[in-house]
Amino acid sequence: MNAPLHKRPDKDEPTVYWNVDRIVTRLRAIRGRWREGQQRDRLWGGREFPSRDALRDVALKLSGALFPMRLGPADLRQESEDYYVGHTLDAALYGLLHEVRLELHNTARHNGNAGDDPDVQAGRILQHFADALPGIREQLDTDVEAAFRGDPAARTVDEVVLCYPGLLAIIHHRIAHTLYTLGAPLVARIIAEIAHSETGIDIHPGATIGNSFFIDHGTGVVIGETAVIGERVRIYQAVTLGAKRFPVGADGGLEKGQPRHPIVEDDVVIYAGATILGRITIGRGSSIGGNVWLTRSVPPGSNVTQAHSQHEVPNP
């Protein structure tokens, strides 16, 4: 198995080899120790976990099916739009079904195969997900309109769909959040991380986000798992909706799934660089200025700015 690492153009130079057999043996031993430590000493044969590459292809197909004339293939014509959508959805949903099955079978193995049959459960999840797609498209239309209305640089709604990273991130989030709530959290997280790697926008699939959501620019935005965002909310780059502290359980480990991220009510604007931490509430219609560090709730209609370190509350 010894293979050449490099062969110089000059034929008189010696070929350099590495010892692949020795490296493979050492890596196998390391994997064995890790699996033993994780109580994964049984090998199941075949792939155990969902594939990032497969889910990237699924997300691309779903995006094309949702916006066929803008995110579909370059040669698509309107008269064949329905055929393309049907064919693409069929391929995407079968591909997604396979990845959800992998997740659920892996979960069942670790839970001692308790609960529903993973194949039946996966089929049920995919049926509900497929039925949700028209609603996802309707919700995304409100996001596109919000971006067009909220950005004077946007000339058309088509430009928003084709060019805005915030819209790409929210497409992935609407898909991922639906899968997350239906019971496929690992598949959902992978889809979210695909968008994160492409846009620099990190939205956990557990976050609940209302209609007409607009992320302007977007790089560095972080929205945590238990964040709740209302309707017509606009945020800018480098905004964090994060946790202030992490509760520790009796076993010394972090407690999972506890509400720890902000609630942002309707019609709030959060400007670039703002950091909002903890289970606090940003009241309806408030404006949070750039670079503000906020760890307390503010009432509706508030204007919080960093420059003057002030919190203005509207007159009753």
Per-residue pLDDT reduced to its tens digit, 228-278: 999 999 999 999 999 998 777 777 777 787 899 999 999 999 999 999 999
Q: Tokens 């997900």 sit at which residue? A: 129
The least confident of 49-63, 204-218, 293-307 is 293-307
Mean pLDDT of 86-90: 97
Angle 315-289-226 from CA coordinates, rounded to 5°: 95
- The residue with greater pLDDT, 68 or 255, is 68
Please tell me the predicted confidence (pLDDT) of residue 309. Answer: 44
Task: Return the closest-CA partner of residue 88 out of 105, 68, 102.
Answer: 68
What are the phi and psi torsion angles at 140 (to 5°)?
Answer: -65, -35
pLDDT reading at 66 higher than 80: yes
Q: Is the dihedral of CA 247, 201, 126, 106 positive or negative?
A: negative
Instruction: Note the pLDDT of residue 291.
Output: 96
Q: How confident is the model at residue 153 (pLDDT cuts 50, 70, 90)?
A: very high
For 220-316, CATH number out of 3.40.50.720, 3.40.50.150, 2.160.10.10, 2.30.40.10 equals 2.160.10.10
At the topology level, CATH places domain 46-201 in serine acetyltransferase, domain 1 (1.10.3130)
Q: Coil, strand or helix: which one is 224? A: coil
CB atoms closer than 10 angstroms to residue 130: 15
Neighbours of 177 (CB within 10 A): 22
Q: Parse the chain into domains and list their residue ranges.
A: 46-201, 220-316
**pLDDT band (50, 70, 90) for residue 193:** very high
Q: How confident is the model at residue 1 (pLDDT cuts 50, 70, 90)?
A: very low
Range with the lowest mean pLDDT among 9-23, 37-51, 228-242? 37-51
Give the residue from 262, 274, 279, 261 showing the smallest Cα distance to 303: 274
pLDDT of residue 316: 58
- The yes-or-no verdict on residue 114 having pLDDT over 90 is no
The pLDDT of 200-227, averaged and rounded, is 98
* Averaged pLDDT, 165-189: 98
Q: What is the pLDDT of residue 150?
A: 96
pLDDT at 6 exceeding the cut of 50: no
Higher pLDDT, 44 or 116: 116
136 confidence band (pLDDT: 50, 70, 90): very high
Q: Considering the entire predicted model, what is its pTM?
A: 0.87
Mean residue pLDDT of the chain comes to: 91
pLDDT value, residue 48? 83
Residue 107 has pLDDT above 80, yes or no: yes
Residue 4 has pLDDT above 60, yes or no: no
Through-space distance between the first and last CA atoms of the chain, rounded to whole angstroms:
78
* Selected residue with higher pLDDT from 257 and 279: 279
Provide the pLDDT for residue 44: 56
> How confident is the model at residue 307, as a pLDDT?
63
